[in-house]
């Protein structure tokens, strides 16, 4: 409502001859961005070039504020681009701003480029090499604080281009400055945390191209984990009398996970003679939530991407994973434990997870039925129940009545296509093998869960799953009509919203 009044004033201020009036107007333009997208959209064609020009202003505060304001509008601007070539007119000007001599302006510029990468995604791929060259040139010139911000920017760029990082030329640009820092920083320097995070993101996206650099990264990560564990076990403290900092374990575990995600099955050759699985077992019982959380992610990714390496220790690690399902007060730990258990169920089946199903399902059912459960924890618990039903249905059977309704509800909002497919296959097996109970208690909820597939292309749904869902729905309708008449079927369908009901009838009842 205020924009029609405010915007003419902003335009007047931006055209002022006084630099501080311009700076204040740029700040105001950024401040109203969240609610003003529609109001300024028509003027962005003029405003954006003006803002880009202000990146060259001799006043550092103006350059800082311009970077911030551009960041606020980049999602809208990039969202309108149809092809990568449309980035070209302003990409160079934005990325050159990281070379600013002012330290604060450097930080704002890095943040702006991170927003650019996050929104541009693989549109950046054609420009990756010159972009990285510019960023790494700045990285080498930066001092500590600006370098910390650049680490985040590099990670955003690596995630944005994804497979684009598999280009050996890209690694040849980004790795040497990072390795210089790697060599310069001791294992106990807190500045290794952002370095490890960036290297992990690069390794994840570079895939096998990173393999030649992987061994020293793997060895140092394991060495740091082992050193912190040993220091804690022997009661060592630092010069201030503080116990060992567990953040070094967390950063090292996360870096190892980046290697697993990048190398996948090839990780086994890297780690086969190491003690990393023993270190993981220790981390799963650590008192620090963050350590257990990162260890659980690493186990889940090993199960999903390099199961042959994890297999010899899977029987020993599985009960520790399940134990962490009881960490109800630490939702991230509990969520990662549920996800990791589901990955282990898919990788190793009943042979590994079967002995722990009773405890696992009891805890997962508690989570599924819990009020105000964090969404990610709810989703991972639902997927774990579905996957355990695929691997160990006879062991799950005695507990089905306690969670099947909650499972149907939780699966409606699940986004991951692969996880959703596994979970629904498990749900179909539950319904098929508990027919009378499900038909009487929760079949409308089941159909509502199935209707959540309406947001996906029907042809992409796994054929076996699609047939299973159709068979169960048609059987339900047939038996209900035989027992109570067609009116009963129509009464059940009427309990569903019209759009979902129409989808069920068109896709699964023909």
Q: How far apart are CA 485 and CA 165, in angstroms?
A: 61
Question: Which residue carries 């999602």 as its tokens?
Answer: 75
pTM value is 0.93
Let me know: does 397 contact 433? Beta carbons within 8 Å.
yes
Cβ neighbours for 342, distance < 8 A, ≥ 6 positions apart: 300, 380, 383, 384, 386, 387, 388, 419, 422
Give pLDDT tens digits for 35-47.
Answer: 665 666 666 777 8
Report pLDDT for 5: 55
Interval 87-106 mean pLDDT = 94
Question: Chain-wide mean pLDDT for the chain?
Answer: 94
Give pLDDT tens digits for 3-37.
Answer: 555 667 777 787 788 889 989 988 988 887 776 65
Report pLDDT for 407: 97
Interval 112-141 mean pLDDT = 97
Let me know: does 113 contact 78? Beta carbons within 8 Å.
no
Give pLDDT tens digits for 288-301.
Answer: 999 999 999 999 99
Q: Which of 114, 80, 76 is nearest to 94 (CA)?
A: 114
What does the block give as tokens for 238?
């630092």
Let me know: does 255 contact 196? Beta carbons within 8 Å.
yes
Work out the pLDDT band at 464, boundaries 50, 70, 90: very high
Report pLDDT for 36: 61
What does the block give as tokens for 168?
């050996």
Report pLDDT for 28: 84
What does the block give as tokens for 364?
């997962």
Give pLDDT tens digits for 245-264.
Answer: 999 999 999 999 999 999 99
Percent share of the chain, pLDDT over 70 = 97
Q: Which of 217, 224, 282 is nearest to 249 (CA)?
A: 224
Report pLDDT for 35: 63
Please state the domain extents for the chain.
185-235+243-303
What does the block give as tokens for 69?
């304001």
Q: CA 135 from chain center: how many Å?
A: 24
């Amino acid at each position: 409502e205020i924009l029609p009044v405010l915007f003419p004033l902003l335009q007047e201020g931006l055209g002022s001859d006084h630099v501080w009036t311009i700076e204040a107007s740029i700040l105001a333009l950024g401040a109203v961005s969240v609610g003003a997208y529609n109001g300024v959209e028509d003027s962005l064609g003029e405003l954006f070039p003006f803002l880009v020009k202000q990146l060259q202003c001799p006043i550092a505060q103006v350059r800082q504020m311009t970077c911030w304001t551009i960041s606020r509008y980049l999602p809208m601007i990039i969202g309108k681009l149809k092809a990568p070539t449309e980035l070209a007119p302003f990409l160079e000007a934005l990325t050159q701003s990281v070379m600013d001599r002012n330290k604060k302006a450097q930080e704002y510029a890095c943040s702006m480029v991170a927003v650019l990468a996050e929104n541009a995604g693989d549109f950046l791929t054609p420009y990756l090499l010159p972009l990285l060259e510019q960023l790494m040139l700045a990285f080498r010139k930066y001092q500590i604080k600006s370098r910390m911000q650049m680490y985040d920017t590099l990670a955003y760029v690596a995630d944005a281009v994804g497979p684009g990082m598999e280009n050996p030329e890209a690694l040849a640009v980004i790795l040497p400055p990072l390795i210089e820092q790697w060599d310069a920083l001791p294992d106990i320097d807190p500045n290794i945390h952002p370095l490890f995070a960036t290297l992990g993101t690069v390794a994840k996206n570079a895939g096998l191209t990173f393999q030649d650099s992987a061994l020293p990264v793997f060895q140092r990560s394991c060495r740091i984990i082992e050193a912190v564990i040993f220091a804690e076990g022997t009661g060592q403290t630092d010069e201030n009398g503080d116990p060992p900092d567990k953040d070094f374990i967390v950063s090292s575990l996360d870096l190892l996970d980046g290697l697993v995600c990048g190398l996948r099955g090839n990780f086994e050759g890297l780690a086969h003679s190491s003690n990393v699985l023993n270190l993981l077992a220790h981390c799963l019982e650590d008192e620090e939530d963050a350590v257990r959380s990162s260890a659980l992610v690493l186990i889940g990714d090993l199960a999903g991407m390099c199961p042959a390496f994890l297999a010899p220790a899977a029987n020993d690690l599985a009960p520790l994973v399940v134990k962490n399902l009881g960490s109800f007060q630490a939702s991230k730990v509990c969520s990662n434990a549920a996800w990791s258990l589901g990955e282990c169920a898919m990788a190793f089946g009943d042979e590994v997870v079967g002995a722990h199903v009773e405890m696992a399902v009891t805890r997962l059912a508690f989570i599924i039925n819990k009020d105000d459960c964090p969404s990610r924890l709810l989703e991972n618990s639902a997927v774990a129940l579905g996957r355990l039903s695929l691997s160990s249905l006879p062991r799950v059977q005695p507990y089905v009545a306690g969670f099947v309704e909650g499972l149907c509800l939780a699966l409606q909002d699940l986004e991951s296509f692969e996880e959703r497919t596994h979970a629904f296959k498990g749900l179909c097996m539950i319904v098929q093998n508990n027919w009378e109970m499900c038909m009487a208690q929760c079949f409308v909820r089941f159909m509502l869960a199935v209707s959540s597939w309406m947001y996906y292309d029907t042809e992409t749904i796994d054929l076996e799953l699609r047939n299973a869902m159709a068979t169960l729905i048609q059987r339900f309708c047939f038996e209900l009509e035989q027992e109570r008449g067609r009116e009963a079927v129509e009464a059940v369908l009427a309990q569903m919203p019209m759009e979902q009901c129409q989808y069920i009838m068109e896709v699964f009842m023909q």
